[in-house]
Amino acid sequence: MMNGRKGKTVFILSLVMLFLLATGLAVRAQEQQPKVTLNLTEEKEVKVFKEGKWIEEKVPVEKVNNQDTLVYTITYVNKGKTGAKAISIVDPIPEGTVYLPESAVGKGSEITYSIDGGKRYQPHPVKYMITKPDGTREEKVASADMYTNIRWVVKELVLPGQKGQVSFKVKVK
């Protein structure tokens, strides 16, 4: 039978070892987590005359005018050591612009939209309810100028070192 002091020392040492083991596992687990980084680029879509025809090209944004079309591309890269699942990428529609319907793309992504600053998301077309003067409620379809945010959820597994892109277009007001 152990004496009281020796039993307490063994118990305390066991707790310390459990703590160190758990902390070490937590650090190792953290090192094994996916680490997804994002990079946003902004380009302007212009029409240029080449080889006898007009084509659309993307050029760096130097100056923006009314009615210009801007293209926002977000590149994601998994810099972690394990695969990343269900990566969620959210981007606001820039002020002074209007989202161009159905321009959001992202291979393997579920794309949803918000008209309330990112509180709720829905697939296109976004719908909302209004209350009429007589108290009845009516469902309406949101216009493109009501869109405030876009969210992509990348459904495909993104392996370490793998990258992908999502993008959307807006028209300058």
User: Residue 114 in contact with residue 147, Cβ under 8 Å?
Assistant: yes
Name which of 45, 48, 50 is nearest 97 in CA terms.
45
The answer to whether residues 80 and 23 belong to one domain is no
Say what the pLDDT of residue 1 is.
Answer: 47
Q: What is the pTM of this model?
A: 0.78
Q: Is residue 61 part of a domain?
A: no
The number of domains in the chain is 2
Range of the domain at 6: 1-31
- CA 99 – CA 8 distance, rounded (Å): 67
Name which of 151, 76, 158, 168 is nearest 111 in CA terms.
151
Type of residue found at 64: V
pLDDT per 10-residue tile (average), the chain, 173 residues: 47 47 49 87 94 93 95 97 95 97 96 98 96 96 97 96 97 96
Say what the pLDDT of residue 31 is.
Answer: 57
DSSP 8-state class, residue 158: B
The answer to whether residues 93 and 157 belong to one domain is yes
Q: Is residue 55 part of a domain?
A: no
The answer to whether residues 76 and 25 belong to one domain is no
Say what the pLDDT of residue 5 is.
Answer: 47
Say what the pLDDT of residue 33 is.
Answer: 81
Say what the pLDDT of residue 23 is.
Answer: 53
The answer to whether residues 162 and 83 belong to one domain is yes
